[in-house]
Amino acid sequence: MKKAPPKKERVTCKKCLMPFEERFINKNGECVICDEYRKKWLNRDYEEKEKELKQIFEHYRQRNKDHKYDSIVAFSGGKDSVYALYLITRKYGMRPLVVTADNGLLTPFARANMKKVIDQFGVDHIVVTRDQEELKSIYRAYFKKTKNFCEICYLTIHSALGQAALEHDVPLIITGFAFKVDSSHFRAAHRYCFEDSFAKIVKDSIPAEIYEKYITKQARADNQFHLLHLFDYINHVDKEIYHVLENELGWDSNKREDKHMDCRFHHMLGYLRMINGDLTSLALMTPAALLRDGQITVEEFHEQLAKEKDLFKNVDKKQLEEFLDFFGVDEEFLTSNPDCPELAEILVYESDIENLIKSERNKGADNLTLIKLLFDSIRPELKRDGGDIRIISFNEQLLRIELLGACRACTIADQVMMRYLEHLIRTYISEDIILENVKPLAPFSR
């Protein structure tokens, strides 16, 4: 196994205090995430967005008026999903089926808390379980190739939601994911959609029938699920959320035990990054997001960061042993550099994009033409994975697009594909363009 390559020099963003490679910092000293935040979230008209949300909800109430459920709510038992469930039922009067994916890593606290919450709302709740040994074999196979495991958790959530939507004929899937306070950014997309890359990475290690259970892209393309992130429409403010949880649902937010309770290895993930020379990235995510959004002060940022770092540093022997045992590796593996050539195969070479855009711009092409060319260069790879992309409208500032086929309701497309497209457009076409993923309403009958 190779040694990890040396880390590139980093520059700290003036606004959110996260370190970045210099090319991701703009002339005002702010990072790409802060830049995106300013354009997309800072002046978001939440009144308008809520009107839009009510129309969407009304559509699905009508569509499913003879069904027991009009929506599916993804539920981890953490604060965001509890607050989302609170709004969906008490404020908007929806009749959701609450769905938890058993990712194999849920803590006992999460399970107990889920039950408490669900009892208060009087809604139906299902936990989509998987065979624990089977799930563990997938985690192991994937971890041994990539030293990551979050993707397997996404996959269990992704397939559980798709499965429930299909079985109950409920196309609306609501998540409590808050993009406004998320600090991840993607500067590369890989050739295969994440279901396929997962299958490809572990295909030699586990039987095909196991991973086929987790591949739901055909169902998503056929049934036109509508994946809605509630906090795209409703402002996500930590203090308000805790206020509701404490006063209306009787939570004790001082304990803050809800943090990451859906993953019993969250601390180990931070530890793993730390011992590989990436000291702060995971610990920084939440404090940086809150600072960026003006929800905390710089002093509070440093306090929170110190607390997060301590969690990762203070991994004890028992936690470490449990982790090594689960993944079937030794301690030495944690600092090694695994070979995973498949993952390195990127969707599109940016130098090709850059050259294409430059030469066409020199010939006088306008931005819309350049965007079309950019999409055309990605399209064959998307199509091969059962996806596609379509431009709905463009007015030099707002580019509205629609993801099609298997990408349509992919739970990870908004996080990875959309952000990657934004990165390409911002870097090679114009910094001023804002990208919006338009999600059409699912039809009344299949």
Give 16 or 382: the residue with its C-beta nearer to Zn ion. Answer: 16
Contact at 8 Å (CB) between 152 and 277? no
Question: Least CB distance from residue 286 to Zn ion, whole Å?
Answer: 14
The footprint of Zn ion (CB under 5 A) covers 13, 15-16, 31, 34
Question: Least CB distance from residue 240 to Zn ion, whole Å?
Answer: 23
Beta-strand ranges (E) seen in 129-188 are 172-175
Contact at 8 Å (CB) between 135 and 156? yes
Question: Least CB distance from residue 175 to Zn ion, whole Å?
Answer: 24
Question: Least CB distance from residue 300 to Zn ion, whole Å?
Answer: 16
Question: Least CB distance from residue 184 to Zn ion, whole Å?
Answer: 12
Residue 375 CB: number of other CB atoms within 10 A?
18
Tokens 């965001």 label which residue? 80
Contact at 8 Å (CB) between 10 and 278? no
Residue 308 burial by Cβ neighbours in a 10 Å radius (0-12, 13-18, 19+): buried
Question: Least CB distance from residue 34 to Zn ion, whole Å?
Answer: 3
Q: Nearest-5° angle of CA 128, CA 259, CA 102?
A: 10
Give 16 or 172: the residue with its C-beta nearer to Zn ion. Answer: 16
Contact at 8 Å (CB) between 381 and 191? yes
Retrieve residue 9's tokens.
Answer: 């020099």
b/e for 346-364, b at 16 or more Cβ within 10 A?
A: ebbeeeebeebbeeebeee
Give 23 or 203: the residue with its C-beta nearer to Zn ion. Answer: 23
Question: Least CB distance from residue 26 to Zn ion, whole Å?
Answer: 10
Give 292 or 439: the residue with its C-beta nearer to Zn ion. Answer: 292
Retrieve residue 400's tokens.
Answer: 């509205």
Question: Least CB distance from residue 277 to Zn ion, whole Å?
Answer: 21
Question: Least CB distance from residue 20 to Zn ion, whole Å?
Answer: 8
Tokens 């809605």 label which residue? 228
Give 37 or 92: the residue with its C-beta nearer to Zn ion. Answer: 37
- Among residues 338, 412, 407, the alpha carbon closest in space to that of 142 is found at 338
CA-based end-to-end distance of the chain: 50
> In terms of residues, how long is the chain?
446
Residue 301 burial by Cβ neighbours in a 10 Å radius (0-12, 13-18, 19+): buried
Strand, helix or coil for residue 259: coil
Q: How far apart are CA 373 and CA 205, in angstroms?
A: 39
Give 16 or 98: the residue with its C-beta nearer to Zn ion. Answer: 16
Give 31 or 305: the residue with its C-beta nearer to Zn ion. Answer: 31
